[in-house]
Structure 1
């Protein structure tokens, strides 16, 4: 099978916001406790954070991390996580029917974020709480001093403010499962008044209002229209969430799901444009896709277990073990975000450690990279720059979710500072290799090309503590460069990064 791809230096989509490669940590399962935080671990630093995990996060180069939830935040009292640890209360987390020790709070997370080389993206509780608690939290985190909350921060050991710029106004408030669930009008009004109060403190904050928690919600997309009509002048982003499942074990259908993601983004982008026009607004609201990942391997049985257990602390929960097939899916998702970089300004893989995550840990023991670590790492490290509007001519197939799904899913990024053009390519064909004829126009002379491949003959292949390198990238020979054109053959069901030095 052949595919022709043309990249032209002047045919661009947008400059990519590096925060598209963001991450997420929630007080859920072992994401925090024995994930990033384990004081007794052999690698623990002076704050109790696992250095082995910090090293893996730094390798990902994820620029921003959303915290502390997720569903958890909708009944969370941020004040429980400050002050002497021995005085912090244990609370019941209603979202996941677990107990929360509050040994990790804003101070500990901030120290971890600094060590992991990532910025904080904090969420406020607009479920069980509201405006007053949100403004107090922002004051505690961001005010230099001379007020009650900022002076309390100083008393608790942090003299300088953290100056966090990005704040989420609640989480999934459209969901009946959410503590403090509200109608679109109720939530929109509360979010707008909270945003006004936060902007009275600092009008340069970037605020994210809750959109739909999935495209299947019965209120979608009217929720977006109603909430944005209430909040448009006060917010910078609207959040979307989507998880990808393959319960039927149908790879062709599974790998077509990013077509649904693309429609989801396109629909909400249209709603944003409609409200902007209706408001005669001057500023743009973008999408924060702040929860996304493959999530189905452990989902059904664990959601059943949650209803049965008796408030355990940091239990094994939602620890999906990702396979090679999921590498292909994550690659296609990231390609979609790159191609939609004109409207998607933030995205957060959910989550970062242990809970539906690219990094796994063993309490007291090893940490390792799941299979999906690698496509996320490649996009994060090499997908910085300007997204290219590619011309792609490739055979396609029809799926239930969409017609004319290209067998070659590809995105291109031009990094003018580094002098590179990088292509991320997924071959969605089960049995045929694709020979890609890649033409570069107006980029100047191409000096060299590198091809890195992730391929395994078993779609169910996984990485584990005992076999952490079962699925991993390999540098391949055979990518030919001649006369400004590149020819490279990618095997069936494979992920490739093709990197051209100019």
Structure 2
């Protein structure tokens, strides 16, 4: 068997761009047990005075999640936000057609904003452009952000919130090209509605940032014409366009599964190109950036979800139990986002608790970290600063869906304030450890702070309530500075690595 090697050269003067901390965002939708039984469970032993689970809050704060998208997702396209405000005993129960469940509306806008404060996170609020439109959006914005003296702002004050929430980031609907979406639309229909909605929202609060819907999947027949049409109609009104993608090992082919982030790289490149073409076409000085506001591994729960009783309350939906190889794919996807930090300014791991999530809970019981929790947490904690151009050399392999897949995927982030460079690296090789050389070039000789490794002898190993630490990282990686000032490490087979260097 051939021996493989890999290397990375980085220089502090060759920069991709600054990391916007919102690239480490997440998502809470009124879906399954994300809200009820996830962040909110009033009868839980560790619930606070508002019914929020403090054990879940501690895990969320450990990741330092900067922004959370809410309340959907498919849910938002049939949601009347007014149902979720005011006295709880007066709130209606409604049938949620998106997920065929019953929504109790015991958590709504104000409760979610309270939770965000406790989680040290901002909100990315979505408006309903499925069954509703510009009028609902401007009323919601007035309720949330206007200080007082108008109907909707005074109603918020009447509900006990004297200060405005000052939500700055807003999504103009969700996946509006999807036939599964309530009120789905053509690109022209959606583009006109989004443009008019954006207009009145900016008139209400000129400080808001707006995200327009891109294609819900690269496999849609309309992709990428949808992006071109929608941006043509909304370019002057919006700041970001959204991207969504999920991956899964449907074929039982791990080598192919680990290569799927190459599709994410291509997706980002294509949408950036469309944004820049539209900018040139309009002779605009404004640059529209990307909000990758849904991304993750999602496939384990597909069969289980078909058995859910319709119209139940907070059933266990989309509860993927993640294994070690899933964590490696999530690590590769994080690297893909960082490699385009110049244009990907926001991203949301979908979702945060129970629903395809890094955090799992039992109703009335424990909360624990899934395998994907760790690369997400490491990137959020150590991936703040400037992404440096990663000149990576690695042997490659071919698989069912991709060719020239590098065995080692890597990126570097320089935090000048802390005097640190962090290398994130995934070894995709399923059988071999790979020697990895880091050439710091323009940096003064580095010192290793730590080399964190997430590895497992079993790709299918997962964390559960009974075994919450079966897959967990260690800091026994062997990265070391050599006599010539370079850094050498061995990346174990099928591993996620975080090499922190003081420079």
Per the normalisation by structure 2, the TM-score is 0.98
Shift of 1:477: 4.7
| 1-structure distance, mates of 2:170, 2:72 | 12
Query: 2:378 corresponds to which residue?
Result: 378
2:477 and 2:368 map into 1 onto residues whose CA distance is: 27
Structure 1 residue 411, shift from structure 2 partner: 1.0
**Residue-pair matches, total:** 499
1:390 paired with 2:393, answer no
Deviates more, 1:440-449 or 1:263-272: 440-449
Is the 8 Å Cα contact of residues 448 and 499 (structure 2) preserved in structure 1?
A: no
Contact 2:25–2:347 under 8 Å retained in 1: yes
Match in the other structure for 1:249: 252
Tell me how far 1:9 sits from its aligned partner: 0.8
In 2, distance between residues paired with 1:122 and 1:319?
Answer: 23
- 8 A Cα contact 2:69 2:123, kept in partner: yes
The structure-2 alpha-carbon separation of the partners of 1:73 and 1:39, relative to structure 1 and needing over 3 Å to count, comes to same
Q: Aligned-pair distance for 1:204?
A: 1.8
How much does 1:450 deviate?
Answer: 1.5
How far apart are residue 479 of structure 1 and its match? 1.6
Please name the residue that 2:344 is paired with: 344
- Give the aligned partner of residue 114 of structure 1: 117
Matched, 1:66 2:69: yes
Flag as ranges the 4+ runs of structure 1 deviating above 4 A: none
Which residue in the other structure is 1:496 paired with?
497
TM-score by length of 1: 0.98
**Cα pair 1:368 1:465 within 8 Å, conserved:** yes
Aligned to 2:424: 424
- Report what 2:366 is aligned to: 366
Compute the displacement of 1:388 (Å).
1.1
In the TM superposition, residue 372 of structure 1 has moved relative to its aligned partner by 0.4
Unaligned runs of 5+ in 1: none
Tell me if the contact between 1:297 and 1:321 (Cα under 8 Å) persists in the aligned partners. Answer: yes
Aligned match of 2:191: 188
Q: How big is the shift at 1:185? A: 0.2
Which whole-Å CA distance do the structure 2 matches of 1:388 and 1:335 have between them?
12
In angstroms, what is the RMSD of aligned CA positions?
0.9
Q: How does 1:22-33 map to 2 (within 5 A)?
A: 22-33=25-36
CA distance in 1, matches of 2:95, 2:443: 57
Q: Could you list the runs of 5+ residues in structure 2 that have no partner in the other structure?
A: none
Give the equivalent residue in structure 1 for 2:298: 295
Q: 1:157 deviation in Å?
A: 0.4
In structure 2, which of residues 69, 87, 96 is the aligned counterpart of residue 84 of structure 1?
A: 87
1:143-162 equivalent positions in 2, closer than 5 A:
143-162=146-165
Please name the residue that 2:42 is paired with. 39
Q: Deviations over 1:92-146 (max 9, x none)?
A: 0000000000000011101110001110110000000000000000000000000
State which of 202, 215, 219 in structure 1 corresponds to 2:218.
215
Deviation at 1:401, TM superposition (A): 2.8
* Counterpart contact for 2:477–2:489, Cα < 8 Å: no
**What does residue 485 of structure 1 align with?**
486
Q: How far apart are the structure 2 equivalents of 1:157 and 1:211? A: 37
Question: For the residues of structure 2 that align with 1:478 and 1:137, how far apart are their CA atoms?
Answer: 53
Counterparts of 1:135-174 in structure 2, within 5 Å, are 135-174=138-177
